[in-house]
Chains A and B, each alone.
Chain A
Amino acid sequence: MTTNNPTNPDDSLPLKGLRILDITVVWAGPYSTMQLADWGAEVIRIESTKYFAATTRGQMARPPQGVVDGGTSTGMGYAWREAGERPWNRHAIFNAHARNKLSMTVDLTKPEGQEVLERLVEKSDGLIENNLPQSMDKQGIGWDRLSKINPKLVMIRMPAFGLDGPYRNYRTWGNHMESISGHPLIRTYPDLSPEYAPAGVPADAAGGIGAALGMLMGRRYVRRTGKGLMIEAPTAENFVPLLGDFVMDYSMNGRLWNQMGNQHWYLAPHNVYRTQGEDAWVTIVCWDEDQWKSLCEIMRMDSLATDPRFKDNESRYENRKELDVIINEWSQDRQASWIMDKLQTAKVPSGIVMNERDATEDRHLHEREFFSSIEHPEAGTHKQVRTPFKSGNHENVGARRAAPTLGQDNEYVYKTVLGYSDDQYDEFERNGHIGTEFDPSIQ
């Protein structure tokens, strides 16, 4: 499609001309359209002022200040710690991934909203959604209908577990898909109850990358066959291969690995150790005898190198708890960055466990121009990441325009893309499709 994408005036970006409709929520779906928007695709987020999808533009549309104060920097990460007049424009999660995307609003529960959707589908190359199948059904968003409107469409559907099967309409987030897939039970602490299991959502991250890849492959399929394509990318199915090693060991040997914590399957040392300062840690690993000898030397513990308890990897693994105590005693009074540099110089794998401050100030990321600053009209100027990989032909592709405020691009989408007249636009506005604020009834 020819586009005049206001977020991409630069004609040279690779995905210029590709128009993608974005009906994504929370993290996995939005992370996929982030990849495409960064590389120049015109990504149009289809939003509604009548419906607030939790954890997309915040957990709540209008969180009381008390909730914001008590919340975390993720869930309740509002600019200047204030929800403000329009909290949905100031939320960290959304503003981190939605840069370079456009936002339009339409009420799909009304017939004329459905007409807008049809026009959008007609004029787009792809659509990505990650919703509960039954909520898409209710809004009439399905392959049979959309592929009739645009036979060359690529539609990526990212339900949690699939478009069919007994879990079809089981609503979960990434962390629940992971618990079903076995991840938290494998990674949690060896000596503590699973009640201490950590949260995490690498499933969402992999889902986002996979759907972006799926869109590019889908477009290639369309070019070669002249036919559209629906790709089903259930987040859980996409994630399970990341546990492939465990699947194979169970499959081949009936073995289960649970509550591993930071232990390796067979290497030692392989852990995280306390260092000087508050909540400061360093990782240390040895996978060969040279690294082990270097570590002993740097710790000035030559006797350790000849200690029969640690004489080879097998012995070290068996006695890893004792070994970890010894390394911890050494590391706890030293600086993490000193340990990392010292060990790395001797070719021993080691690294700071970086907090958010360490990452945003890291010298390596700085030199590779990983961050660049951009101003958001309602949230201030902050650092944004560039794309997760560097291209030699297109240097430092990253944030060109800050995340869109709700409905920011309504005029462009309705008038320029869809060709509605000024009068028609006003009518859409009167009928509650076009707006920049969530309905006051939404908390």
Chain B
Amino acid sequence: MVGIMPLDDVTVVDLTHYTAGPFATRILSDYGANVIKVERPITGDPARMLPPFYEDEPGLERSGLFLWLNTNKRSITIDLKKDEGRDLVLELVKNSQILVENFSPGTMDALGLSPTKLLEANPKLIITSLSNYGQTGPYRDYIGNELNLYGMGGSMIGAGNVDHEPLKTAGRMVNYHAGYVAALASALGLYTVEERNEQGDHIDVSIFETATHSIDMRLNRLMGYQYTGRLAGRQSQASAVGSGVHPCADGYFLITGGARFIPNIIKMIGMDELLDQEEWSTPEGRAHPDRIDEFLPHLIPWTLARTKEEIRKEAEKHAVLGGPMNTIEDLMNNEQFIDREYFQEIDHPETGPIKYPGYHFTLHRGEDQPMPDRNRAPLLGEHSEEILAEIGVSKSEIEKLKTKNVI
């Protein structure tokens, strides 16, 4: 039984492209929203031509990036630069609750789709604008990409080793996180309209700010700096006794130690008698920087004699905070993720069945209502006619729009 999903009566006009915006609307679609992805004719969302491609062969329907970011959505092609195209969007928003866009600031105004125009068409509409730096401010028109947005906003200065350069997070994480925030912002807007009976709203999400706001070491360090006057800088994982990425029999294992957790680690490696020694018996003693190097000759032979999984089991038993340094292959073969059937197989005409990342969270609606299977990403313009028919555009009008290259 499909049952009710929280957003299954909500329509989202999705004018986003590339990565952060599609991530936002993907989450809304996961929880039931009817997402109408508006793409430019012929080429579509530029992410369709970004790697990785299935079997490394480029093609509009073969980008793994596009495929996983656009599950459950329907695609309509509209040329927004034509008047008829703009009018179609204004028609679409009349029957929608949310519009999400991630053009450069100013572009929507230039297209004749300013917040004023959109709210005229639908006064209850939530417009979520997602951009690199926000719709205002001195950096508004600066260019952004994953690397420089993390450097400016995130905790890059604190990521990595003190003797080496700062490191970015993997892949497109800063963009995706901002997309996640944009999904939250859209849901909050919807709540405000529905529960508080407010008018529609224009929400401004800046990727730079979502990174500066992030609990990933940034928010805390901004306060820690103000409290202590100290810049955090880069601290290796080995900045506390027992902490670090340690070599083991089949790779590496991450352990978090420090004054409070070191007794558990000491017990895990069977060195209980160490706690009887004076310098190891008190939290101050264990927090002394000299202990860091003193402890390694006890710990490393122990980890080297064991595999990642053996250490993980011991860590769990002794309440030691730690985890194996896995590859994506390890992850996809991990017993926990397999047991929970986390990765989802989705079929597609170009790729056949492929495993995708699973749901962010699971709604427990009842035994008879498991989380639904996702639909594959749409082919370019796959649903154009269907969507136009839904808003009452006649067959002959659709033909006219086609000949004028509007759709």
**CB-CB < 8 A to A438: which residues of B?**
none
Q: Nearest B residue to A265 by beta-carbon distance? A: B51
Q: Does A297 contact B (CB under 8 A)?
A: no
Chain B, range 155-182, C-beta contacts under 8 Å to A: 155-157, 159-161, 164-173, 176-177, 180-182
**CB-CB < 8 A to B165: which residues of A?**
261-262, 271-272, 274, 281
Q: Does B151 contact A (CB under 8 A)?
A: yes
Which residue of the partner chain, among A90, A172, A180, A230, contacts B364 with CB atoms under 8 Å?
Answer: A230
**CB-CB < 8 A to A3: which residues of B?**
none
Which residue of the partner chain, among A59, A156, A176, contacts B258 with CB atoms under 8 Å?
Answer: A59
**CB-CB < 8 A to B27: which residues of A?**
213
CB pair A246–B170 under 8 Å, yes or no, is: yes
Of A66-74, A110-118, A302-310, the one touching chain B: A66-74
Q: Nearest A residue to B319 by beta-carbon distance? A: A171
Which residue of the partner chain, among A27, A179, A198, A241, contacts B357 with CB atoms under 8 Å?
Answer: A241
Q: Does B185 contact A (CB under 8 A)?
A: yes
CB pair A351–B354 under 8 Å, yes or no, is: no
Chain B, range 74-120, C-beta contacts under 8 Å to A: 115
Q: Does B381 contact A (CB under 8 A)?
A: no
Q: Does A391 contact B (CB under 8 A)?
A: yes
**CB-CB < 8 A to B115: which residues of A?**
392
CB pair A93–B360 under 8 Å, yes or no, is: no
- The 8 A CB mask of A364-397 against B (1 = contact, 0 = none) is 1101101000000001001101011111110000
Which residue of the partner chain, among B4, B137, B284, contacts A64 with CB atoms under 8 Å?
Answer: B284
- The 8 A CB mask of B132-156 against A (1 = contact, 0 = none) is 0110111100111101110111011
**CB-CB < 8 A to B354: which residues of A?**
248, 251-252
**A382 to B145 CA separation, bound complex (whole angstroms):** 31
CB pair B203–A232 under 8 Å, yes or no, is: no
CB pair B166–A232 under 8 Å, yes or no, is: no
CB pair A210–B167 under 8 Å, yes or no, is: no
Q: Does A197 contact B (CB under 8 A)?
A: yes
The number of residue pairs between A and B whose CB atoms lie closer than 8 Å in the complex comes to 520
Q: Does B375 contact A (CB under 8 A)?
A: no
CB pair B355–A391 under 8 Å, yes or no, is: no
Q: Nearest B residue to A28 by beta-carbon distance? A: B215
B322 to chain A, nearest CB (A): 6
Interface size on A, residues (CB 8 A): 166
**CB-CB < 8 A to A80: which residues of B?**
227-228
CB pair B316–A171 under 8 Å, yes or no, is: yes
A327 to chain B, nearest CB (A): 12
Of B35-43, B324-332, B387-395, the one touching chain A: B324-332
**A425 to B123 CA separation, bound complex (whole angstroms):** 49
**CB-CB < 8 A to B208: which residues of A?**
364
CB pair A198–B220 under 8 Å, yes or no, is: no
Q: Does A51 contact B (CB under 8 A)?
A: no
**CB-CB < 8 A to B259: which residues of A?**
59-60, 63, 67
Q: Does A182 contact B (CB under 8 A)?
A: yes
Chain B, range 193-252, C-beta contacts under 8 Å to A: 194-196, 198-199, 201-206, 208-210, 212-240, 244-247, 251-252
**CB-CB < 8 A to B403: which residues of A?**
none
CB pair B148–A350 under 8 Å, yes or no, is: yes
Q: Nearest B residue to A238 by beta-carbon distance? A: B360
Which residue of the partner chain, among B188, B258, B334, contacts A39 with CB atoms under 8 Å?
Answer: B188
CB pair A209–B184 under 8 Å, yes or no, is: yes
**CB-CB < 8 A to A258: which residues of B?**
327
Q: Does B368 contact A (CB under 8 A)?
A: no
CB pair B233–A184 under 8 Å, yes or no, is: no
**CB-CB < 8 A to B359: which residues of A?**
237
Q: Does A432 contact B (CB under 8 A)?
A: no
CB pair A388–B209 under 8 Å, yes or no, is: yes
Of A214-222, A315-323, A410-418, the one touching chain B: A214-222
Q: Does A266 contact B (CB under 8 A)?
A: yes
Q: Does A96 contact B (CB under 8 A)?
A: yes
Which residue of the partner chain, among A95, A202, A204, A284, contacts B169 with CB atoms under 8 Å?
Answer: A202
Q: Does B367 contact A (CB under 8 A)?
A: no
**CB-CB < 8 A to B214: which residues of A?**
202, 205
CB pair B160–A389 under 8 Å, yes or no, is: no
Q: Nearest A residue to B323 by beta-carbon distance? A: A176
Q: Nearest B residue to A17 by beta-carbon distance? A: B195
Q: What are 10 inter-chain pairs, A to B, with CB distance below 8 A? A: A96-B220, A179-B323, A197-B237, A198-B237, A202-B177, A233-B360, A233-B361, A243-B170, A249-B52, A261-B165
**A212-B184, A221-B5, A231-B363 provided; 8 other pairs, C-beta below 8 A?**
A31-B219, A97-B219, A179-B323, A182-B328, A221-B363, A250-B332, A282-B151, A391-B185
Closest 7 CB pairs of A and B: A77-B224, A176-B323, A248-B64, A351-B148, A356-B225, A73-B224, A233-B361
